[in-house]
Amino acid sequence: MRINESQLKLVNDQIQRLVASGNYFGRRLQEAGVTEVRTVEDFLALPFSEKEDLRNCYPLGASAVDERQIVRIHSSSGTTGTPVIIPYTEKDVDDWAEQFRRCYELAGITSEDRIQITPGYGLWTAGIGFQAGAEKLGAMAVPMGPGNTEKQLQFMVDLQTTVIGATSSYALLLAEEVERRGMLGELALRKGVIGSERWGKVMRERVKAGLGIQVYDIYGLTEVYGPGIGISCGAESGMHYWDDYLYIEILDPATGEPVPDGEWGEIVITTLVKEAAPLIRFRTHDLSRIIPGECPCGSPFPRIDALHGRSDDMVKIKGVNVFPRQIEEVLQDFPQLSSEYQIRISHLEGRDTMRIYVETDGTQDFLDLADAVSDEVKRRIGFTPLVKVVELGVLPRSEKKTRRVFDERYE
């Protein structure tokens, strides 16, 4: 999706702000000789930013405002090393709340609703994002925070909560608990706003049925406000995002070049009105695509598709970018296959080859099944893999995260 005139103007304002502040990113722009952005070409010449840059800014080096203007910080949980700290001005906090309010609104949630918030509060952006949006909407926020399922269920019944905010795993836990106790009839839940982890169709259906709700996926990351920068709608056809606050590009993660609308790649975000920590072309490493055309729901805001994992998982084969999730989706449509699979990529006779190992219950001839899977991958993803069907239980299982993709080209 090409950057438009008004977005370009806002990006230019962000560049001016950064350069004038002399912060980490401002200095970098100045060193690169970029102090103005007028055209699409100017924009595409801007350097990317990465989480690593934000680590280099620790603790407050990402700030483009006087520190007296900072009203709050959040921090993203680094698994290792230096944490990332994102400062917010009063306007940033308000802008974020407004975006989250829009998310609720798009999901059909109103000031009549009672929103039980189960994600965590604190340095993390989750709980407080749900909270600020709910207050701005005029709904009743029930700020539970995570855990304590007993009390969650009690409040859900006693307060007749109508909306639940949760991660998909906690929503599933609640759904199973409600089912186990047979207490669905006591609940007034109608909608769930669920954090945008990757989750499959089966889990989604269980949560919907178990809690009696419609579900909406919310998108966001601490570096760019937090959750609430996008949400799926009633059409269940991707997530709308607020293009007056953000410009989203989808780039080929390997080359950094834009891909056409509709094609998969990495989400790269430029903030348009952020004061304390503007980010230019921030590489999220989340994989999605722009969904072209108008959404059946009628919202004029553009859409990205549900996340397809991380760009770190992507492999390029025969000129086609492939994500394990795409293979997984094809395999899911074969009920005679188990959930286990293994992808091996190797370089044979001068060509990249993908072998997919799948397990079957034996109801179909192995060779026929292999051909059918291979044809389906060709049809949906655009290249022909070698498919090997094995008996149930042959592929290794692990209690931790099972490794499924092996790129043997570089081993």
Q: Is 21 in the site for Zn ion (CB under 5 A)?
A: no
CB nearer Zn ion, residue 185 or residue 298: 298
Q: Is 214 in the site for Zn ion (CB under 5 A)?
A: no
- φ/ψ region of 238 (left if φ > 0, alpha if ψ in -120 to 50, else beta) reads left
Q: Is 218 in the site for Zn ion (CB under 5 A)?
A: no
| Cα angle value 248/330/396 (rounded, 5°) | 105
Least Å distance between CB 201 and Zn ion? 19
71 in Cβ contact with 90 (< 8 Å): yes
Q: Is 290 in the site for Zn ion (CB under 5 A)?
A: no
Least Å distance between CB 125 and Zn ion? 24
First to last CA, the chain: 37
Q: Is 235 in the site for Zn ion (CB under 5 A)?
A: yes
Least Å distance between CB 6 and Zn ion? 22
Rounded distance between C-alpha atoms, residue 8 and residue 54, angstroms: 24
Binding mask 298-317 for Zn ion (x = CB under 5 A): -x------------------
Contact segment (CB under 5 A) with Zn ion among 3-11, 166-174, 235-243, 328-336 equals 235-243
Select from 233, 268, 345, 370 the one that contacts Zn ion (CB under 5 A): 233
Q: Is 291 in the site for Zn ion (CB under 5 A)?
A: no
Instruction: State which H helix or E strand residue 158 sits in.
Output: helix 149-158
Count of CB atoms situated within 10 Å of the CB of 179: 14
CB nearer Zn ion, residue 32 or residue 235: 235
- φ/ψ region of 410 (left if φ > 0, alpha if ψ in -120 to 50, else beta) reads alpha
Q: Is 188 in the site for Zn ion (CB under 5 A)?
A: no
Rounded distance between C-alpha atoms, residue 89 and residue 100, angstroms: 17
CB nearer Zn ion, residue 235 or residue 392: 235
Q: How far is CA 32 from CA 45, 47, 161, 340, in A?
A: 10, 9, 53, 48
CB nearer Zn ion, residue 110 or residue 160: 110
The footprint of Zn ion (CB under 5 A) covers 233, 235, 295, 297, 299
